[in-house]
């Protein structure tokens, strides 16, 4: 009986296991700092999560609920992209965080700790950039920060895409950062094959800053990764 009561409180779900955004207590979601969300780690108790993010935003039942869902609003963010992001936590039998996931890859990247920012998209798919400064050595090798950024990026690809094809180039001068692009290509190819599909380099201009109002995203030299889902 109790199990039925708790499950009935969750509301309608989509095929991906996330609730309908219209069922949230606060329509349109709330703004939450990326730092607070990044602080949520496996092993945390519900009280620790509630201290960081507040109570869940959907009627999922508080007693022994093994899933909490949140709805975050990005409409006040200066960067381009979606206005809402859905975040889900699942708990183990001891009611500690077991894993977290985002409904979309864009939100996963936007709120992750990696230093990769989404750029405008076209038919090729989402594009992300890896700043040259700090992510690579003078010789073009990946630094520890660069490897960590790409590792987290590959995890996002594995979770939210099905073996996407990647095209790697550089900005603002196509072909200039060849060594850096090759370092990114080697790293991603060395993955177990489940995260990415074909990874190729290009000397063509694949950045999306041309013709746009220049903002902070477009000012720094960067390695551009274009994602093309299969």
Integer angstrom CA distances of residue 203 from 44, 187, 188: 46, 19, 18
Q: What is the DSSP letter of 202?
A: -
User: Model confidence at 29, in pLDDT bands (50, 70, 90)?
Assistant: confident
Q: What are phi and psi of 140, to 5 degrees?
A: 95, 5
For position 2, what pLDDT does the model report? 32
Mean pLDDT score of the chain, rounded to an integer?
75
Give the pLDDT of residue 161.
73
Task: Answer yes or no: is pLDDT of 57 > 70.
Answer: yes
Most confidently modeled of 5-14, 123-132, 159-168?
Answer: 159-168
User: What's the whole-number mean pLDDT along residues 65-69?
Assistant: 92
For residue 150, pLDDT beyond 80: yes
Distance CA 60, CA 29 (A): 16
Residue whose entry in the numeric block shows the structure tokens 């963010």: 77
Phi, psi of 89 (to 5 degrees): -120, 140
Q: What is the dihedral of CA 181, 226, 80, 89, to 10 degrees?
A: -100
């Amino acid at each position: 009986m109790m199990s039925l009561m708790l499950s009935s409180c969750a509301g309608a779900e989509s095929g991906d296991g996330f609730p309908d955004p219209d069922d949230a207590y606060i329509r349109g979601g709330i703004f939450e700092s990326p730092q607070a969300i990044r602080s949520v780690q496996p092993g945390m108790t519900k009280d620790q999560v509630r201290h960081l993010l507040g109570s869940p935003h959907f009627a999922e039942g508080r007693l022994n609920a093994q899933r909490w869902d949140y709805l975050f609003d990005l409409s006040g963010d200066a960067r381009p992209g979606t206005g809402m992001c859905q975040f889900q936590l699942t708990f183990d039998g001891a009611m500690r965080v077991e894993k977290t996931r985002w409904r979309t890859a864009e939100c996963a990247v936007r709120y992750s700790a990696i230093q990769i920012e989404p750029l405008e998209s076209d038919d090729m798919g989402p594009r992300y950039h890896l700043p040259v400064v700090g992510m690579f050595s003078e010789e073009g090798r990946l630094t520890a920060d660069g490897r960590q950024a790409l590792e987290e990026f590959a995890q996002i690809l594995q979770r939210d895409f099905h073996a996407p094809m990647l095209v790697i180039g550089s900005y603002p001068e196509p072909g200039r950062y060849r060594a850096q692009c090759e370092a990114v290509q080697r790293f991603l190819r060395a993955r177990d094959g489940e995260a990415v599909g074909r990874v190729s380099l290009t000397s063509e201009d694949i950045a999306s800053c041309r013709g746009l109002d220049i903002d902070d995203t477009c000012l720094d030299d960067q390695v551009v990764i274009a994602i093309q889902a299969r």
